[in-house]
């Protein structure tokens, strides 16, 4: 049964979650394929008990969705991630952090504002309580598109005293996929790199120069290159790894899938991506992963299956 936490406001008269920001985090347990409503909201303690009961392998992956994502699409993608990883032998539990994206391509800047405002609650209301469960679980994140921006803002906005759990708090693997985050932020010594180096054991950045959505977003926010399209800077902390995915996109995505949006979301339909992600979550050494190949003239590795 899918579990997620949300900062979308709830409309009691329509019994539906909205595109507006809520003043509290709600915890939801909903049957597969059912639209969430008030009957599926549970208290935090019940939700955490359900998480503990379903996380039999002791591993949790939190999917943080991106811009232009309706709640129904978030749930469908969470399911795809769950099935894709399970097919590769990963036995952890996939949860979602749901924030109030307007679900339209025209709302980029308002989505970015909502992501920033809801970001600290990812840590305080989701990651922190999960880290407090005993026996302790390994918590990982998969951050797509603007979800990477939200995660950076959340991780930078909550200190050790702001979230329950171990001190200093942190997660294990973080995967940025099509990250809508400024590339310069991730250079060694810059704020984004400092935050992620402190708060995760390893950061893996999956990027593709064919990402047309990020090409557009670069023109919307002060022209900065994006980590999800242009990769990480040359100088990054040791636990940061770039994975170039353009070759996989070219080889594995059919012509019908090479649309504007498809160039940004194809990862979630690609078995090779899940094979690589499953190995990453298991802590595999990038240098020995069978899903990656050297890139000529670069220190990066390329996803190619």
Let me know: does 172 contact 207? Beta carbons within 8 Å: no
Which residues of the chain fall short of a pLDDT of 50?
A: none
Q: Tokens 């991630």 — which residue?
A: 81
Let me know: does 273 contact 206? Beta carbons within 8 Å: yes
What pLDDT score does 222 carry?
63
Give the tokens for residue 302: 């390329």
What pLDDT score does 56 carry?
83
Pairing of strands 292-294, 301-303: antiparallel
Q: What are phi and psi of 70, to 5 degrees?
A: -75, 160
Give the tokens for residue 187: 């250079």
Let me know: does 61 contact 277? Beta carbons within 8 Å: no
Tell me the residue ranges of DSSP E strands in 171-232: 171-177, 200-207
For residue 253, give the DSSP letter: S
CATH number (1.20.1260, 3.40.50, 2.60.40, 3.30.200) of 3-303 reads 3.40.50
Let me know: does 3 contact 14? Beta carbons within 8 Å: no
What pLDDT score does 166 carry?
60
Q: Is 300 helix (H, G, I), strand (E, B) or coil?
A: coil
Q: Tokens 């390893």 — which residue?
A: 202
What pLDDT score does 97 carry?
98
């Amino acid at each position: 049964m899918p579990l997620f936490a949300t900062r979308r406001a709830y409309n009691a008269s329509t019994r539906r979650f909205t595109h507006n920001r809520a003043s509290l985090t709600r915890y939801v347990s909903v049957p597969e394929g059912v639209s969430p409503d008030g009957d599926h909201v549970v208290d935090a303690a019940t939700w955490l008990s359900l998480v503990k009961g379903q996380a039999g392998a002791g591993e949790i992956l939190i999917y943080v969705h991106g811009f232009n994502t309706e709640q129904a699409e978030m749930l469908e993608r969470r399911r795809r991630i769950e099935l894709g990883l399970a097919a590769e032998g990963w036995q952890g539990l996939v949860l979602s952090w749901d924030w109030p994206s307007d679900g339209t391509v025209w709302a980029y800047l308002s989505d970015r504002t909502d992501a920033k405002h809801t970001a600290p609650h990812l840590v305080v209301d989701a990651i922190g309580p999960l880290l407090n469960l005993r026996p302790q679980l390994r918590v990982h994140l998969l951050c797509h598109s603007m979800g990477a921006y939200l995660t950076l803002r959340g991780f930078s906005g909550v200190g050790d005293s702001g979230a329950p759990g171990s001190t200093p708090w942190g997660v294990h693997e973080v995967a940025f996929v099509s990250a809508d985050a400024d590339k310069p932020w991730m250079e060694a010594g810059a704020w984004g790199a400092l935050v992620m180096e402190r708060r995760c054991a390893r950061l893996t950045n999956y990027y593709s120069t064919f990402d047309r959505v990020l090409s557009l977003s670069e023109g919307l926010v002060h022209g900065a290159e994006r980590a999800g399209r242009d990769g990480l800077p040359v100088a990054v902390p040791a636990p940061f790894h770039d994975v170039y995915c353009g070759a996989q996109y070219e080889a594995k995505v059919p012509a019908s899938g090479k649309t504007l949006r498809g160039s940004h979301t194809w990862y979630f339909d690609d078995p090779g991506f899940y094979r690589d992600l499953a190995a990453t979550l298991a802590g595999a050494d990038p240098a020995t992963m069978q899903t990656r190949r050297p890139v000529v003239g670069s220190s990066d590795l390329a996803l190619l299956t």
